[in-house]
């Protein structure tokens, strides 16, 4: 799909995703080695966006499996269409049971769920398994076969192997430790907060109306907040929100009043706001 | 590098990482080799990211990986080119690099500084390169005012963000100090052999640092790990609770349900557990020797407070006092917690060393009603009584009243019972566990906490 790391970065940038060297390298390797990509990092740094951008760049269809507590085989992998099977049985009254049985367990009666969808067909696909850590441990076992061999075993049908391997991205917020078996099958990528220069470019890209100087100030204030011991430090998503807020308010420079009034966009806990205000000397107006 | 040389370099790197407790299989090593082939050796940072992606499994492993990588794939070999410089010239150039925030130039200066001022010893067996000595010579922290003035003079920094400037410069200086340390490690490794330095001179991951020997920076890192760890433990507890709520079959309700299917019990009904509301009591030794351990555990339990109906925390040195209010969620400032506890609570009597006998006796006497049949008690401390009476009857009394009593001891098991340690005596009465680092603590907490 890609020839070099620089090409990855350039094409992702065209799709509106500014990748750090680490991200570009890992995406390049995931494509080259044909391995799934496990992305971890704090909320709001663009883990899901990365999968979307890769899909756009590759001209592939994005198949998404959103994990949650209690997601199971029949929602993730496949399910038999019981109603249709019953119809089929009652429609063919006079045939023998053997004929019916081979017929109702054919692909026609199989309802593919995201994981099966991703490995069937010849068109390029990106499989996004979102918030893997929210799913139960049993689901991880289900993923292992797909991630290592790109195949699914349906007892009644046999093994379905991918004719064209999808590009797989798993995301996790690390609210639960994923099993070692799953991690071993993936390339690991940690997306942290971007450095100052990259974040400035991201802000300029997402909020084009913002002036260069203001974007720089915004990024520096956010950087200072991330160094404080807060319960929830602002992420890239919050930086962009804040930049949009400032633009909407028509502020062209930062000052105490503006920052104090809009701190709630960046920080989501009252005690965080108080602490940050104290550290930034906001009360000394 | 030849093909054999590269393979050897890679396996050496993997070996050093394994020695630091990272679990890396052969499969990953092969992946890493493929990554090297795909990426080439032209760009060292790409190689670093590529190897990290294939070899590592978690974020916490990165701080170990980076210095080890620097040793096996060094930026250069030998001393930097150029004339030996004098101190003032180097400081001038460092100030300029700090002003421009030019990382590459700072790395170059770090190499020169270590080369110029870091060497010590003069025989081949005892000499080496010291980052400490280099930094003492160079004193980069004293450049703060100078860099600030020159940035302000450039005028790019008026208005609101001016107040952030000092912290930013401090961070740049801190970054430079790290570069010096890495450079000194590299030079020593050239002299003494990579493998040995990679095993000894690279700090272990924060969760494997012994509580008793952790430095300030490591304790700060542990404090930052409290919230994510608590979240992880909370999900683990919730999962245990969910499993535990699937009890045995309730025969009466199963049979009644089976009436609608003609007496065939199609759907077994499970007996529901009555939700218990576990209570937690923490007895923490906060004397100097074990305070790092106690502070961390207190913060962790407090972060888990919504999992319990009641959490009470008591601190002691040789007197005991309740500190629950000091830990109230949200207001507690983790940084100053230890100091505040020692300032505001009455913890010492006539002398300042810890006395488990008196403290436990006082707890049994004054706060005996804090312990009931629903209470799980955790005692945190090294059980070193300074030769005084361990007061076993008090422990026995607490153990009889409580649901469970656990003792978490931050000392190595082989040290128990040596010197003034009364650990074996206490271990006979209550379950005592070795709990030397955050990794062990989180495993124990996940297993022992009542649900």
In A, which residues are within 8 Å of B225 by CB distance? none
Residues 54-83 of A with CB under 8 A from B: none
Contact indicator for A186, A37 with CB cutoff of 8 Å: yes
Return phi, psi of residue A130, to 5°. -90, 140
Residues B209 and B436: their CA atoms lie apart, in Å, by 8
CATH number, position B284: 3.40.50.410
A57-73: average pLDDT: 90
Structure tokens at B125: 């067996």
A103 or B434, higher pLDDT: B434
**Domain contains B205:** no
- Residue-range domain boundaries for chain A: 5-74+113-190, 78-111, 196-279
Residues B407 and B327 in one domain: yes
Structure confidence by residue, pLDDT tens digits, A1-36: 888 999 999 999 999 999 999 999 999 999 999 999
CA distance A174 to chain B (A): 8
How does residue A126 score in pLDDT terms, banded at 50, 70 and 90? very high
Contact indicator for B438, B219 with CB cutoff of 8 Å: no
Q: Are strands B119-120 and B128-129 parallel, antiparallel or unpaired?
A: antiparallel
**Domain contains B328:** yes
In B, which residues are within 8 Å of A32 by CB distance? 34-35, 38
- pLDDT over 80 at A90, yes or no: yes
CA distance A177 to chain B (A): 7
Other CB atoms within a 10 A radius of the CB of residue A14 amount to 10
Nearest to B160 among A5, A189, A217 (CB): A217
Residues B378 and B408: their CA atoms lie apart, in Å, by 7
Sequence length of chain A is: 285
ipTM computed for the complex: 0.87
Residues B23 and B97 in one domain: no
**Domain contains B199:** no
Strand partners, B249: B270
CB contact under 8 A, A21 and B236: no
Best mutation target, B32, B36, B54, B160, to test chain A (most A CBs within 10 A): B160
Nearest to B167 among A216, A227, A255 (CB): A227
Residues B285 and B380 in one domain: yes
The residues, ordered by sequence, that sit 6+ positions from B256 with a Cβ below 8 Å of its Cβ are: none
Concatenate the DSSP letters of all residues of A172-233 into one string. E-SSSPPPHHHHHTSEEEE--PPPHHHHHHHHHHHSTTS-HHHHHHHHHHHHHHHHS--SS-
User: What pLDDT shows up at residue A285?
Assistant: 41
- Could you list the beta-strand ranges (E) of chain A: 37-40, 61-66, 78-80, 110-112, 125-130, 151-154, 158-161, 167-172, 187-190
Nearest CA in chain B to A224: B164
**Domain contains B56:** yes
In A, which residues are within 8 Å of B239 by CB distance? 136
CB contact under 8 A, B159 and A188: no
Domain extent for B182: 87-192
CA distance B228 to chain A (A): 7
CA distance B24 to chain A (A): 9
A93 three-state secondary structure: coil
How far lies B373's CA from each of A68, B132, B377, in Å? Answer: 36, 55, 11
User: What pLDDT shows up at residue B340?
Assistant: 77
CB contact under 8 A, B57 and A29: no
- pLDDT over 90 at A242, yes or no: yes
How far lies A154's CA from each of A105, A107, A111, A125, A168, in Å? Answer: 10, 10, 12, 21, 21
User: What pLDDT shows up at residue B333?
Assistant: 64
Residues A100 and B372: their CA atoms lie apart, in Å, by 65
**A284 has a chain B CB within 8 A of its CB:** no
- pLDDT over 60 at A48, yes or no: yes
In A, which residues are within 8 Å of B53 by CB distance? 22, 25-26, 29-30, 187-189
**At how many degrees (to 10) do helices B62-72 and B3-19 cross?**
150
CB contact under 8 A, B161 and A35: no
Query: For residue A156, what is the DSSP state?
Result: T
**Domain contains B268:** no
User: What pLDDT shows up at residue A284?
Assistant: 46
Residues B225 and B187 in one domain: no
Residues B153 and B103 in one domain: yes
Structure tokens at B172: 């740049």
Contact indicator for B294, B379 with CB cutoff of 8 Å: no
User: What pLDDT shows up at residue B83?
Assistant: 63
B261 or A171, higher pLDDT: A171
Nearest to A190 among B62, B161, B239 (CB): B62
Residues B79 and B64: their CA atoms lie apart, in Å, by 25
Query: For residue A50, what is the DSSP state?
Result: H
- pLDDT over 50 at A274, yes or no: yes
Chain-centre distance for alpha carbon B8? 32
A282 or B172, higher pLDDT: B172
Nearest to B23 among A180, A217, A254 (CB): A180
User: What pLDDT shows up at residue B237?
Assistant: 78
What's the CATH fold of domain A5-74+113-190? Rossmann fold (3.40.50)
User: What pLDDT shows up at residue B157?
Assistant: 58
Residues B7 and B136 in one domain: no
Contact indicator for A72, A29 with CB cutoff of 8 Å: no
Residues B340 and B336: their CA atoms lie apart, in Å, by 6
Nearest to A229 among B159, B239, B334 (CB): B334
Residues B130 and B167 in one domain: yes
Residues B233 and B128 in one domain: no
Query: For residue A134, what is the DSSP state?
Result: G
Residues B184 and B230 in one domain: no
Residues B326 and B307: their CA atoms lie apart, in Å, by 19
The listed range with the strongest mean pLDDT (A84-93, A108-117, B250-259, B260-269) is A108-117
CA distance A274 to chain B (A): 11
User: What pLDDT shows up at residue B246?
Assistant: 66
> pLDDT tens digits, chain B, 451 residues: what are they?
567 788 888 999 999 999 888 889 999 999 999 999 999 888 888 999 999 999 998 888 888 899 899 888 887 777 776 666 678 888 888 888 888 888 888 888 888 888 888 777 766 666 778 888 888 888 888 888 888 888 888 765 567 777 788 888 888 888 898 888 888 888 888 777 777 777 777 777 777 777 777 777 777 777 777 777 777 777 777 777 777 766 678 888 888 888 888 888 888 887 776 666 678 888 888 887 777 788 788 888 777 777 777 888 888 888 888 888 877 755 556 667 777 777 777 777 777 788 888 888 889 888 888 888 888 888 888 888 888 888 889 899 899 988 889 998 888 888 888 888 888 889 898 999 988 888 888 888 878 877 6
**Domain contains B360:** yes
User: What pLDDT shows up at residue B245?
Assistant: 65
**Domain contains B134:** yes
**Domain contains B267:** no
Return phi, psi of residue A19, to 5°. -100, 140
Residues B336 and B405 in one domain: yes
User: What pLDDT shows up at residue A57?
Assistant: 93
Query: For residue A167, what is the DSSP state?
Result: E
**A26 has a chain B CB within 8 A of its CB:** yes
Residues B284 and B69: their CA atoms lie apart, in Å, by 40
How does residue A237 score in pLDDT terms, banded at 50, 70 and 90? very high
The residues, ordered by sequence, that sit 6+ positions from B346 with a Cβ below 8 Å of its Cβ are: B319, B321
The total number of structural domains in chain B stands at 3
Helix H, strand E, coil C: the string for chain B is CCHHHHHHHHHHHHHHHHHCCCCCCHHHHHHHHHHHHHHCCCCHHHHHHHHHHHHCCCHHHHHHHHHHHHHHCCCCCCCCCCCCCCHHHHHHHHHHHHHHCCHHHHHHHHHHHHHHHCEECCCCCCCEECHHHHHHHHCHHHHHHHHHHHHHHHCCCCHHHHHHHHHHHHHHHHHHHHHHHHHHHHHHHHHHCHHHHHHHCCCCCHHHCCHHHCCHHHHHHHHHHHHHHHHHHHHHHHHHHHHHHEEEECHHHHHHHHHHHCCCCCCCCEEECCCCCCEEEEEEECCHHHHHHHHHHHHHHHHCHHHCCEEEEEEECCCEEECHHHHCCCCCCHHHHHHHHHHHCCCCCCCCCCCHHHHHHHHHHHCHHHCCCCEEEEEECCCECCCCCCCHHHHHHHHHHCCEEEEEECCCHHHCCCCCECHHHHHHHCEEEECCCHHHHHHHHHHHCCC
Is B3 exposed, middle or buried (CB count within 10 Å of its CB: 0-12, 13-18, 19+)? exposed
Residues B369 and B413 in one domain: yes
Residues B443 and B340 in one domain: yes
CA distance B12 to chain A (A): 20
> Taking an 8 Å Cβ-Cβ cutoff, which residues of chain B contact chain A?
23, 25, 27-28, 31, 34-35, 38-39, 43, 45-46, 49-50, 52-54, 56-59, 62, 159-161, 163-164, 167-168, 171, 223-224, 227-228, 231-232, 235-236, 239, 330-331, 334-335
């Amino acid at each position: 799909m890609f020839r070099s790391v620089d090409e990855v970065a350039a094409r992702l940038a065209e799709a509106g995703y500014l990748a750090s060297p680490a991200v570009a390298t890992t995406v390049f390797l995931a494509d080259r080695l044909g391995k799934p990509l496990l992305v971890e990092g704090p909320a709001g740094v663009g883990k899901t966006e990365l999968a979307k951008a890769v899909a756009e760049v590759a001209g592939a269809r994005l198949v998404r499996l959103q994990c949650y507590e209690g997601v199971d085989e029949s929602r993730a992998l496949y399910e038999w269409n019981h109603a249709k099977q019953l119809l089929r049985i009652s429609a063919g009254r006079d045939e023998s049971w053997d004929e019916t049985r081979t017929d109702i367990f054919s692909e026609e009666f199989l309802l593919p769920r995201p994981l099966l969808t991703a490995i069937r067909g010849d068109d390029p696909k990106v499989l996004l398994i979102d918030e893997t850590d929210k799913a139960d441990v049993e689901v991880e076992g289900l993923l292992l076969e797909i991630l290592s061999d790109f195949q699914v075993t349906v007892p009644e049908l046999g093994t379905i192997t991918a004719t064209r391997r999808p590009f797989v991205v798993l995301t996790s917020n690390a609210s639960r430790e994923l099993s070692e078996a799953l991690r071993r099958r993936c390339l690991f990528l940690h997306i942290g907060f971007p450095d100052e220069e990259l974040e400035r470019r991201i802000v300029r890209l997402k909020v084009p109306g913002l002036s260069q100087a203001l974007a720089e100030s915004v990024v520096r204030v956010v950087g200072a907040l991330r160094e404080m011991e807060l319960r929830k430090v602002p992420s890239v998503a919050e930086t962009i929100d804040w930049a949009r807020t400032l633009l909407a308010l028509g502020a062209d420079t930062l000052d105490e009043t503006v920052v104090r009034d809009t701190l709630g966009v960046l920080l989501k806990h009252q005690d965080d706001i108080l602490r940050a205000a104290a550290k930034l000397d906001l009360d000394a107006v | 590098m030849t093909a054999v040389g590269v393979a050897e370099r890679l396996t050496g790197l993997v070996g050093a990482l394994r020695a630091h407790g990272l679990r890396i299989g052969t499969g990953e090593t092969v992946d890493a080799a493929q990554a090297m082939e795909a990426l080439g050796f032209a760009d060292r940072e790409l190689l670093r990211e590529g190897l990290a992606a294939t070899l590592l499994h978690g974020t916490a492993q990165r701080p170990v990986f980076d210095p080890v990588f620097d040793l096996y794939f060094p930026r250069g070999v030998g001393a930097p080119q150029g004339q030996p410089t004098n101190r003032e010239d180097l400081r001038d150039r460092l100030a300029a690099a700090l002003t421009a925030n030019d990382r590459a130039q700072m790395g170059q200066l770090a190499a020169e500084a270590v080369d110029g001022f870091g060497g010590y010893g003069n025989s081949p067996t005892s000499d080496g390169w010291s980052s400490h000595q280099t930094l003492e010579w160079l004193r980069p922290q004293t450049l703060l005012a100078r860099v600030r003035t020159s940035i302000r003079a450039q005028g790019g920094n008026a208005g609101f963000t001016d107040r952030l400037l000092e912290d930013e410069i401090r961070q740049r200086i801190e970054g430079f100090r790290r570069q010096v340390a890495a450079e000194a490690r590299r030079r020593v490794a050239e002299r003494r052999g990579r493998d040995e330095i990679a095993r000894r001179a690279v700090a272990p991951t924060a969760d494997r640092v012994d509580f008793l020997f952790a430095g300030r920076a490591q304790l700060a890192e542990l404090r930052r790990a409290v919230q994510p760890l608590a979240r992880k433990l909370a999900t683990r507890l919730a999962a245990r609770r969910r499993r535990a709520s699937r009890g045995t079959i309730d025969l009466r309700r199963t049979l009644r349900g089976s009436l609608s299917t003609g007496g065939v019990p199609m759907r077994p009904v499970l007996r529901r557990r009555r939700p218990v509301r576990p209570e937690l009591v923490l007895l923490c030794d906060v004397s100097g020797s074990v305070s790092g351990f106690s502070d961390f555990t207190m913060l962790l339990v407090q972060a888990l407070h919504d999992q319990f109906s009641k959490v009470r925390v008591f601190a002691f040195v040789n007197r005991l006092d309740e500190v629950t209010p000091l830990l109230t969620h949200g207001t507690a400032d983790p940084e100053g917690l230890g100091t505040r506890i020692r300032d505001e609570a009455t913890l010492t009597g006539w002398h300042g060393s810890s006395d488990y006998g008196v403290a436990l006796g006082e707890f049994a006497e004054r706060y005996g009603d804090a312990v009931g049949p629903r209470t799980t008690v955790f005692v945190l401390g090294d059980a070193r009584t300074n030769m005084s009476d361990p007061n076993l009857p008090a422990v026995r009394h607490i153990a009889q009243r409580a649901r469970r009593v656990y003792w978490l001891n931050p000392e190595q098991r082989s040290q128990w019972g040596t010197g003034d340690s009364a650990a074996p005596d206490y271990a006979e009465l209550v379950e005592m566990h070795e709990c030397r680092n955050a990794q062990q603590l989180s495993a124990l907490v996940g297993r022992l906490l009542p649900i």
